[in-house]
Structure formats: structure tokens, C-alpha cells
Structure 1
Amino acid sequence: MGFDQKESDERKPFFDKMQAEWINRKRPDNPRPFSVPYEENIRGDKVDDERSREKKGKVNSLQRFRYVRHEKILEREKENSPDCSYKLLQAEQNLREVVQEESAIKEGIQPLSKDAQERLIVLNTTYWRLSQEWWHWRSALHPGPQERAFKLWRSHPKWYMHQELVKDCAGQDGCCARECGCCQNRQIDASRILGVGHCTLECECCRQARGFEISKEDKEKVRSQFRFDGKRLDSRLKAINMVSIFGLVSDHFRNPFEMIDVPPSYEQFETKEKEQEASHLIWREVEMVETSSWR
């Protein structure tokens, strides 16, 4: 079929009308402040407010902005189910168990028994499988604010020594409840870098501190209680997720990187919290006195 100029001229008013309707279409009342034109926006693009915080080096404000924006993206897309970051944290938990069990076997009686050698082969295979799982969930993080927040926070090699994560380890009677410093100084081979972090049920130091073995049944009960499966999201799991992915803690406005520290003992945590609470009460009393004097 050849080019029909007459037919084209007849259709021109129709196309002109369609183009005019597109140009003059109704836009959202509150378009998002993207630096690119609204119609060119891709989900998760960096906005001017985020760039401003990034440029000023306000890490806490930057990560909070990213966290809130990520939550809004989930809400807007009606993704009410827990995002894949919980699956990522569970993969990391499983990787830590493998690495700590490997360390316990290698630090045991030498030379290794046949059973121990066979177990190491199984664990090596398990680590490989879990590392693939980790990468799957790592790649599945929402492109945009969540992924940028994750990259920034995990850029610190000791991110897991955040005070809240140390406190959680101590609360589970892990090495952070003692003066051994295993979590901070645990020697991990470069090929096992995904296994960094706090104690699991396979930590040899914790086993020696307990003085007894945990049965398989009890291990499974404990694992199910602390599992990041997304089926039940209590306040603890949400808090661990927020600090592990974004480096954030509710009601704390310090730079997250400043909250990475040598792990104090559990008693020191309690003392510090009591001191902060006492300081807060003192300031409240001062404010009340000053307020009453103004009246």
C-alpha cells in the first residue's frame, strides 16, 4: 500500500487533537519533586531533597528520608507483604550459622575425624547454596531509596557492630554479653565474608560459656522464634530490619556510623540506659522549674 497524502491530511486534525489532549492532560496535584520531568520519572529515582541531604553529609537525615520514601513506595504500589529485605536477613543468619559451625569444627580436636571432615564438606556446599540465595534477595532489594540506603550502610565493614545489634546479641546471651569480643574480632576467611556478624546457636564460645549442648529440637524452637520469615513481624524483627538495612533506630538522631562501637557488656548497656534515663528526668525537672518561674 503506497503513501496516501490525502488520507494523511484527513487524519491530521485527529492526531493534533490527541497530541493537544496529552500535552494538556491533568497532572497530579502534588507531583513528586523529581529533577527530571514528571512523565520521565522512574520508580526510585533520586529526588532533590535526597541529593541535598547527601551533599550536606547528614547521614541520619538522609537514611531516614530514604526509609520513609521506601515505605511510601510500598504503600503506593500496595505491596503490603514484607519486602525481600527480611529474606535477605534470614539468609545472612543462616550463613553465620554455617561459618560458626565450620569454625567450631576446625578449632576442635585435631586431627579431624572422618565425620568432621564429611560435615565440613556438607557445610561448604551449604554455604555456596546460601550465598546464591543471599545474592538473589540482595538483587531483589527495591531499586531506589532502599538499595541506596543499603549500599551506604553496608559500606562500613563493621556495620553489624551497631549498638542496637550488639545489644540484641547480648540479650540472647551471645558473646556481646561477655568480655570475649568474639563478634568484633571473629576471624573469618575472605571466602566466608558473608558470614560476618553476631552469634548463632553454632558459636563455639557461647557453647563453652553455657556449659551444655542444645538439642536439635530446642535449636529449631529458638530458630523459629527469631526467624525472619515475614510471616510474623513483631517490633523486634522490624527494629532489626531497620538497623540492618538502613542503620536506623527509632528516636535516635545520631549519625548511624557513630553508633558502631566496641561491644560493651550487657551490664554496661543497662548502666548507660539508666544514666540516660536519669539525665532525661533531670532535664524534665529543670524544664518544669523554669516553666513555673515564667508564670
Structure 2
Amino acid sequence: MSAQLIDGKLIAQKIRQDAADRTQKLRARGIQPCLAVVLVGEDPASVSYVTAKERALEEAGMASQDIRLPQETSEIELLTIIDKLNQDPQVHGILVQLPLPKHINEDRIITAIEPAKDVDGFHPVSVGNMVLGRPGFLPCTPHGVLVLLRELSIPTNGAHAVMVGRSNIVGKPLANLLTRRDINATVTVCHTGTRDLADHCRRADILIAAAGRPGLITADMVRPGAAVIDVGVNRVEDPAAKKGYRLVGDVDFEGVKEVASFITPVPGGVGPMTIAMLIQNVVQAAEHRLQGV
């Protein structure tokens, strides 16, 4: 019996509709949530992500400032722009699309963003609030995964979650969030230095792959009945595809779906949730500004 497909698009639409409803209430009070999106260079994937984010903002009734800068933009120039956005009362959130060109220090740029406008949840203050369980913006992709688990009523209390990947954007924050008391999972974090990866994965009630390696998780690595969340998005060459490539996850979908109880597709699983949680963070930032938080 095949696994139940987790429809990220459907769940994301619910989140986006809620954000749109909250935006309408804010606009009735003269406030339009606004996200400044900064893109340095013309990386095709980054351009595609930014376009999707701006389309989602427009659909929710929000405003966006589209700031596109040439590849050779200096770090000082970018910091100056962020400083202006920090001080602009019409801007509620700031998003600098990653990755940045190699001559720009990403940590310095992220740290320059005002925490109250850090809708990506990457600022050290945001990360500290997350770890301590204090109010603040949660990183979009990890938060989106938690919402998927909740919406599908996948049991987390006492469950063994195995996190494959330890990036600052997904692996580390998601591992932390899964240990929160309201989630209450026991978490194992696996990475490139992990011995016997398959053995760890087979012990998981909830297996989350975010390693950036296509097809890393195969059917023999999954315990029958486990819930499998595939965060990976990898381009693989496919001459038969219109663009010459197709998107696949870190999970061998066709094999694993015959073993798991739940599984996310790629695309259409976690990806839509990332944008939905960003939209939610932007409206939350505008609400906090109104409340003087």
C-alpha cells in the first residue's frame, strides 16, 4: 500500500489565505504589509524564487519592494541599502535572497538586518529566540515542516525523528524545533560524518531529508510506516524535459512511497510551505509594528 501523499500546495494555500485575511484587516486600518526583497546578481534559481515570493505577496494583498542589484555590488553598498530599509517605516520585512556573491559576507549581511524585520528568521537574535522558545520569527522551511506534521496529525509526542542534514537554514533549526515541548520528539541529527546512516534512518518514526543529495534516501533505509519529509530540491539533467532538467528531492520517491505511511513529493511538498510561512511572517511583522512590539 502506497504512502499518503502530503499535499504541500493545499496546506500552503490555507496559510496564505489566513495571511490575506489578516492583511485585509490591517489595510482597513491604513497599514499595508510590505516586504523588501533584495536580489544580488542573476542566478536563475534565485530569480525564480524571488518571482514566486513576490507573486505570493501580491496575491495576499501585500506590497513588495523589488531591489535588484548587479553581481558586482559591493558589501558596503549592500549594507547601506539594508540600513535604509531598516529605517523605512513602510517596510515591515527584509529578505536578502541567498546565496550572495562570494565577495559578500553572508553572515555580516544577515546580522545587519533589524531583528524586527528579519522575516527569514536567520538573524542571531531570531535564532536565539527560537532556541530559548521565546517569541520571534521562525525560519520558514523548518516552520513549514512542523505545520505539515500538524495538519496531517502525524504523531510527534515521543516520536523518534531523524534529521539528515545540519544546515543553518533547515537542519539545525528544525532539529531544535522538533524538541520543543509542544512537539516533544526525540531527535537524531545525521550528517556527512555519520557512520551507518541507513541504520539511523531505519529507526525513525519521522525521517526528514535535507542533505542536498538526490536520491540519498532509498526504500531500504526507511522503516515501514514511517513519515518521510523530503526538503531536498535538486536539479538533475533530463534531456526529455522541456528545460533540460527536472527537480528531484533527496528521497527516492518511487521506492520509498511503497514503504512509508506519509511522504512529501518534490516539487509540491515542502517548497510551497516555505513561501506560505514567509507570507505569514510578513503579516506578523506588520501586526507587531501596529502593536508597538
- Give TM-score scaled by structure 2 length: 0.28
- TM-score normalised according to structure 1 size: 0.28
Task: Give the greater-gyration-radius structure (CA).
Answer: 1
When you count helix as a share of all residues, which structure comes out higher?
Answer: 1
